[in-house]
């Protein structure tokens, strides 16, 4: 069924294009999530498995050391028994002394090897924890910045269709969608919530270098709808804007910028 109302038909057409573009944004956001969070976590998991296998070698070495100590004690006990014997054969004495020296030498070798392995593992463990903690924090920061930028793109895209909803009729648009039409003084401003001075709804200035290195190759520009440029009422003016800090952004008025004091009241009274 084709919509006969001109304003509502135009709004539906714009909303359809916006929904399609938002789907593309979400697909790109999923790819960025797999790149910035999934791949690093997989690498850290494999690295942790290697660390676990390396640490497993120390208990094996300790088990060999304990067996060598037990062997050395038994050889020493055998030599003591020969020492207290009344009739001692020279070949038995030489054999006992040779076995005792071999057991003591093997015990000394394993003791020094265990000490070296333990000291190296302690040193490498501290290095591994420091390096992994730094890399995990860096990956989480990168993932967070990508998610914030993706949500900002989606927000700017949704804001680009707001004037078309307002232009449905003279009552502000939502009345045609079955919603209450608030007085003009209570309607939300059509100005963009994002500008070079920061987010209007948070009052927090945006850092200039926050995403210059992280999303240099993944910036997306809000497309200009074909019939927006032909609008004579000026509703499409300034609606093609570059996101992620790319391109020029028109300076927003200080009156349209919100701070934490009146953000709640503005959000409570705003309508789509």
> Percent of the chain at pLDDT above 90?
33
Q: How confident is the model at residue 202 (pLDDT cuts 50, 70, 90)?
A: low
Note the pLDDT tens digit of each residue in 30-42.
999 999 999 999 9
Residue 224 pLDDT exceeds 90: no
Which residues, other chains included, contact 193 with Cβ-Cβ below 8 Å and sequence gap of 6+?
Answer: 155, 159, 199, 200, 201
With bands split at pLDDT 50, 70 and 90, how would you rate the model's confidence at 195?
low
pLDDT of residue 86: 72
Q: What is the pLDDT of residues 135-184, one digit of tens each?
A: 999 999 999 999 988 888 888 888 888 888 777 766 655 555 555 555 55
Name 46's Cβ contacts closer than 8 Å, sequence gap at least 6: none
**Given this model, what pLDDT does residue 139 score?**
93
* pLDDT at residue 81 in the model: 82
Domain range list for the chain: 6-269
């Amino acid at each position: 069924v084709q919509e006969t109302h001109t304003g509502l038909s135009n709004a539906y057409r714009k909303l359809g294009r916006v929904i399609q573009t938002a789907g593309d944004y979400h697909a790109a956001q999923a790819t960025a999530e797999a790149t910035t969070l999934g791949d690093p976590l997989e690498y850290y998991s494999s690295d942790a498995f290697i660390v676990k296998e390396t640490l497993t070698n120390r208990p094996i070495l300790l088990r060999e050391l304990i067996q060598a100590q037990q062997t050395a004690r038994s050889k020493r006990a055998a030599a003591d028994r020969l020492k207290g014997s009344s009739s001692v054969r020279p070949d038995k004495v030489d054999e006992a002394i040779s076995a005792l020296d071999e057991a003591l030498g093997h015990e000394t070798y394993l003791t020094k090897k265990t000490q070296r392995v333990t000291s190296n593992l302690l040193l490498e463990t501290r290095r591994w924890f420091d390096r992994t903690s730094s890399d995990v924090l860096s990956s989480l920061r990168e993932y967070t910045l990508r998610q914030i930028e993706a949500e900002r793109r989606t927000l700017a895209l949704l804001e680009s269709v707001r004037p078309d909803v307002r232009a449905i009729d003279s009552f502000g648009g939502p009345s045609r969608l079955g919603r209450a039409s608030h007085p003009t003084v209570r309607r939300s401003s059509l100005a963009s919530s994002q500008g070079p001075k920061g987010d209007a709804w948070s009052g927090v200035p945006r850092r200039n270098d926050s995403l210059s290195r992280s999303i240099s190759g993944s910036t997306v520009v809000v497309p200009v709808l074909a019939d927006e440029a032909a609008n004579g009422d000026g509703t499409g003016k300034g609606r093609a804007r570059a996101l992620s800090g790319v391109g020029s952004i028109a300076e927003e008025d200080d009156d349209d910028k919100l701070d934490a004091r009146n953000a709640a009241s503005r959000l409570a009274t705003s309508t789509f």
